[in-house]
């Protein structure tokens, strides 16, 4: 069994956690869960960095001891990780005895071999990130390059220093020989440029404050962050306390962090380890910044989002379980933004992903197929018959997509991995529409209807296994609706192969796992009415937005005949329709591609709003709007009964 050791940075306890912390931790959690799904022996570590002058100052401002403050904030991180369904195996705090013993042992070893020596250090220092910066890196007014607007302090004191300069050549050779040791390319180039420019010895102890781990042979000093905080990764792996565990898990496979601290992890940390005779991590991966309105999340600037509060908002607006709303946030953060790049957070974009990806693509695959199993097959999954139509294409898509996910996770390409899973879901929805099992059932072709339903649900089963690292609660609910007896948690990546769904399984259709978030929430006693961007009229119910008969007469409803239908380029859900309204031919754009294949529409007579002002949708001018009924994410076009000519008025 392969091992996989992944870490987040240990988060600084100057304040409560926010969505920026959650972004890194969710990414690490998904990687850890996927590796467990693949059958690997996983150690997933997160924790808190609790020493330093900034913590002492924050505690003093709040009128408590540093230990009381760190106890409080560390508990906030632990509560949030539980709320976000983070599956960490360990949570380390640098105030723990097990960690302090390791920090002191490493410091002592480096001192005894001459790599740590007594000297003095002076420079511009930022207490918030516990870093010294040269003048060339400071912002206007001598501000920290990481903590925007925070003025640095000139610090000069006696200090023990680590001979970082001694390891410059080794470090440069190591990164050039092992290019994947620092990823992605941008941070790696930054680190290489820093090393090539020359490395100075760095201060690894402080005397101007006492809140830290004492230097074992000189109690006037406390160990500085580069040995104190960084050694947490070997502490949790069992260094000193559990040699067998340490031999199993070290070196770490991935140190995951934001790009602002990559230089410390990719320069100072490997040099310290190499000097101490300890193997260096296999990879330091620095992701981009999560921003809001183009600005990085920052407590000091007042730009923060509470991920727990946001999840509760999404749950309230949608009617979903809070844990399912948490899943939606987990999904959004890793689907919307290419991991490794900067990306802007937007709640409207989150709602769009919730509705389009989770409610429509994933949820609809179950919502539309399970009721048909209930109605036509006594609630039991039918056995598949011989392949025909689109059967083989769906099976092959599911197989190739499932195989493509693992290599992308190895590269921490979460977005790419999700796109592979969505290949299965998109193929499943299009297959369901094209093969139309309800029509086969109406025609008495029950074997064919059963085959289509089996294949659709098999695609949903495979996608559910693959999505479980991102959506642990929602996929568990989907698994329950599929009725599969073996727990989802017992599944492995090898189970995501075609043919694993047992015929005869009793399905359990339930309420939609991801209820759509409507543009306007219903008022008391009524329901909302809205028009979608795709030009489909969606009514929520009677009793809202009443109009007069004169206002209604302004709407010109006509019968239209569909002459041609085709997908809109670059849009999975839109179709471009050419329709005849009497003697006139027009183009309409409608968001019905998930429910109707183009071939199903040609020759059909529908109802359209003929006097709607034209608008451009995805570069296509839509000259009107078709009418459709919607319910629980199902859409049905409105038509006419009998032989009514196109252009006939509807009243």
Place of tokens 């602002």: 260
- Asked if residue 87 is part of any domain, the answer here is yes
Computed over every residue of the chain, the mean pLDDT equals: 89
Phi-psi label, residue 158: left if phi above 0, alpha if psi -120 to 50, beta otherwise: beta
* Same domain as 453, residue 557: no
Is the predicted pLDDT of residue 438 greater than 70, yes or no? yes
* Same domain as 105, residue 57: yes
Q: Which of 450, 474, 495 is the last residue of a domain?
A: 495
Q: Give pairs for 70-74: CB < 8 Å, separation 24+.
A: 70/13, 70/95, 73/13, 73/14, 73/15, 73/16, 73/48, 74/13, 74/48, 74/50
Residue 134: per-residue pLDDT:
72
Q: Which of 358, 350, 339 is nearest to 305 (CA)?
A: 350
CATH number at residue 421: 1.10.730.10
Backbone angles phi, psi at 621, to 5 degrees: -80, 120
Tens-digit pLDDT profile for residues 345-399: 889 999 999 999 999 999 999 999 999 999 999 999 999 999 999 999 999 999 9
Residue 157: per-residue pLDDT:
84
* Same domain as 147, residue 41: yes
Q: What is the span of the domain harbouring residue 416?
A: 345-495
Structure tokens that stand for 632 in this block = 């629980």
* Same domain as 260, residue 400: no
* Same domain as 198, residue 53: yes
Residue with the larger pLDDT of the pair 413 and 558: 413
Tens-digit pLDDT profile for residues 117-150: 999 877 777 766 566 677 667 777 678 776 556 7
- Asked if residue 301 is part of any domain, the answer here is no
Residue with the larger pLDDT of the pair 631 and 100: 100
* Same domain as 252, residue 131: yes
Tens-digit pLDDT profile for residues 568-584: 876 777 889 988 888 78
Is the predicted pLDDT of residue 340 greater than 90, yes or no? no
* Same domain as 184, residue 55: yes
Residue with the larger pLDDT of the pair 176 and 153: 176
Residue 1: per-residue pLDDT:
86
- Asked if residue 315 is part of any domain, the answer here is no
Q: Where does the pLDDT of residue 545 fall: very low under 50, low under 70, confident under 90, or very high at 90 and above?
A: very low
Q: Which of 232, 262, 296 is the last residue of a domain?
A: 296
Provide the number of structural domains found in the chain.
Answer: 3
Residue 200: per-residue pLDDT:
93
* Same domain as 432, residue 373: yes
* Same domain as 292, residue 181: yes
Is the predicted pLDDT of residue 535 greater than 60, yes or no? no
Residue 293: per-residue pLDDT:
65
Q: Which of 369, 365, 333, 385 is nearest to 429 (CA)?
A: 365
* Same domain as 586, residue 472: no
Tens-digit pLDDT profile for residues 78-127: 999 999 999 999 999 999 999 999 999 999 999 999 999 999 877 777 76
Is the predicted pLDDT of residue 154 greater than 90, yes or no? no
Residue 242: per-residue pLDDT:
97
- Asked if residue 133 is part of any domain, the answer here is yes
Separation of alpha carbons 183 and 190, rounded Å = 10
Residue 633: per-residue pLDDT:
53
CATH number at residue 210: 3.40.50.620
Whole-structure pTM value: 0.78
Separation of alpha carbons 288 and 225, rounded Å = 23
- Asked if residue 538 is part of any domain, the answer here is yes
Residue 622: per-residue pLDDT:
87
Q: What is the DSSP letter of 198?
A: -
**In this structure, how many other beta carbons lie within 10 angstroms of the beta carbon of residue 278?**
17
Tens-digit pLDDT profile for residues 288-329: 888 776 666 555 555 678 999 999 999 999 999 999 999 999
Tens-digit pLDDT profile for residues 23-67: 999 999 999 999 999 999 999 999 999 999 999 999 999 999 999
Is the predicted pLDDT of residue 492 greater than 60, yes or no? yes
Q: Which of 238, 221, 86 is nearest to 160 (CA)?
A: 221
- Asked if residue 143 is part of any domain, the answer here is yes
Do 300 and 147 form a contact (C-beta atoms < 8 A)? Answer: yes
Helix, strand and coil in the chain, % to nearest 5:
45, 20, 35
Do 59 and 66 form a contact (C-beta atoms < 8 A)? Answer: yes
Residue 610: per-residue pLDDT:
87
CATH number at residue 546: 2.40.50.140
Q: Which of 266, 296, 326 is the last residue of a domain?
A: 296
- Asked if residue 449 is part of any domain, the answer here is yes
Tens-digit pLDDT profile for residues 206-227: 998 999 999 999 999 999 988 9
Helix (H, G, I), strand (E, B) or coil at 34: helix
Where are the alpha helices (H) located in 436-498, listed in sequence order?
437-442, 446-467, 472-482
The residue-averaged pLDDT of 449-466 equals 98
* Same domain as 274, residue 211: yes
Residue with the larger pLDDT of the pair 310 and 151: 310
Q: For residue 205, what are the CA distances in angstroms to 34, 82, 512?
A: 39, 35, 57
- Asked if residue 317 is part of any domain, the answer here is no
* Same domain as 141, residue 236: yes
């Amino acid at each position: 069994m392969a091992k996989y050791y992944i870490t987040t940075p240990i988060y600084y306890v100057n304040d409560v956690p926010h969505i920026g912390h959650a972004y890194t931790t969710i990414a690490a959690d998904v990687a850890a869960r996927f590796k467990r799904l693949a059958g690997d022996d996983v150690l997933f570590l997160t924790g808190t960095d609790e020493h330093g002058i900034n913590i002492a100052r924050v505690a003093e401002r709040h009128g408590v001891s540093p230990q009381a403050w760190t106890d409080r904030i560390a508990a906030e991180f632990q509560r949030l990780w539980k709320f976000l369904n983070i599956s960490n195996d360990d949570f380390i705090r640098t105030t723990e005895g097990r960690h302090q013993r390791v920090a002191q042992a490493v410091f002592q070893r480096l001192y005894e071999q001459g790599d740590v020596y007594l000297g003095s250090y002076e420079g511009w220092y930022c207490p918030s990130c516990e870093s010294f910066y040269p003048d060339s890196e400071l912002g206007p007014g001598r501000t920290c390059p990481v903590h925007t607007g925070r003025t640095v302090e000139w610090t000069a004191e006696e200090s023990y220093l680590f001979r970082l300069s001694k390891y410059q050549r080794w470090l440069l050779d190591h990164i050039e020989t092992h290019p994947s040791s620092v990823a992605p390319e941008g941070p790696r180039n930054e680190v290489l440029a820093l090393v090539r420019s020359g490395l100075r010895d760095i201060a690894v102890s402080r005397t101007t404050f006492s809140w830290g781990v004492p230097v074992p042979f000189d109690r006037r000093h406390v160990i500085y962050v580069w040995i104190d905080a960084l050694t947490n990764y070997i502490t949790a792996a069992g260094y000193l306390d559990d040699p067998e565990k340490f031999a199993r898990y070290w070196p770490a496979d991935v140190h995951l962090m934001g790009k602002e601290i990559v230089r410390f992890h990719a320069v100072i940390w490997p040099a310290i380890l190499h000097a101490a005779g300890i193997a260096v991590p296999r990879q330091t991966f620095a992701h981009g910044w999560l921003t809001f309105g183009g600005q990085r999340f920052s407590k000091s600037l007042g730009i923060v989002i509470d991920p727990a509060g946001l999840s509760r908002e999404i749950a309230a607006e949608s009617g979903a379980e809070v844990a399912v709303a948490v899943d939606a946030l987990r999904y959004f953060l890793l689907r919307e933004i290419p991991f490794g790049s900067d990306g802007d957070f937007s709640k409207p974009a989150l709602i769009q992903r919730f509705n389009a990806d989770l409610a429509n693509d994933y949820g609809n695959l179950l919502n539309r197929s399970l009721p048909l199993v209930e109605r036509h097959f006594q609630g039991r999954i039918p056995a598949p018959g011989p392949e025909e139509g689109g059967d083989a294409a769906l099976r092959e898509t599911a197989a190739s997509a499932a195989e493509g996910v693992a290599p992308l996770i190895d590269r921490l390409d979460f977005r790419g991995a999700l796109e592979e899973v969505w290949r299965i879901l998109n193929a499943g929805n299009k297959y369901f529409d094209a093969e139309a099992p309800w029509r086969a059932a109406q025609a008495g072709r029950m074997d064919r209807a059963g085959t289509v339903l089996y294949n659709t649900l098999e695609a949903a089963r495979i996608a559910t296994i693959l999505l479980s690292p991102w959506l642990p609660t929602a996929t568990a609910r989907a698994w329950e609706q599929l009725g599969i007896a073996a727990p989802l948690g017992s599944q492995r990546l090898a189970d995501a192969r075609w043919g694993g769904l047992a015929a005869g399984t009793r399905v359990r259709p339930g309420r939609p796992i991801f209820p759509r978030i409507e543009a306007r929430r219903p008022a008391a006693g009524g329901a909302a009415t809205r028009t979608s961007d795709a030009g489909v009229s969606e009514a929520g119910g009677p009793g809202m937005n009443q109009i007069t008969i004169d206002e209604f007469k302004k709407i010109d409803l006509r019968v239209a005949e569909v002459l041609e239908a085709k997908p809109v380029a670059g849009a999975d859900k839109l179709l471009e329709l050419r329709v005849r309204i009497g003697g006139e031919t027009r183009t309409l754009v409608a968001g019905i591609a998930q429910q109707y294949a183009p071939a199903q529409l040609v020759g059909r007579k529908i109802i359209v709003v003929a006097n709607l002002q034209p608008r451009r949708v995805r570069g296509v001018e839509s000259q009107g709007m078709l009418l459709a009924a919607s319910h629980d994410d199902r859409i049905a076009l409105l038509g006419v009964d009998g032989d009514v000519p196109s252009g006939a008025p509807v009243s």
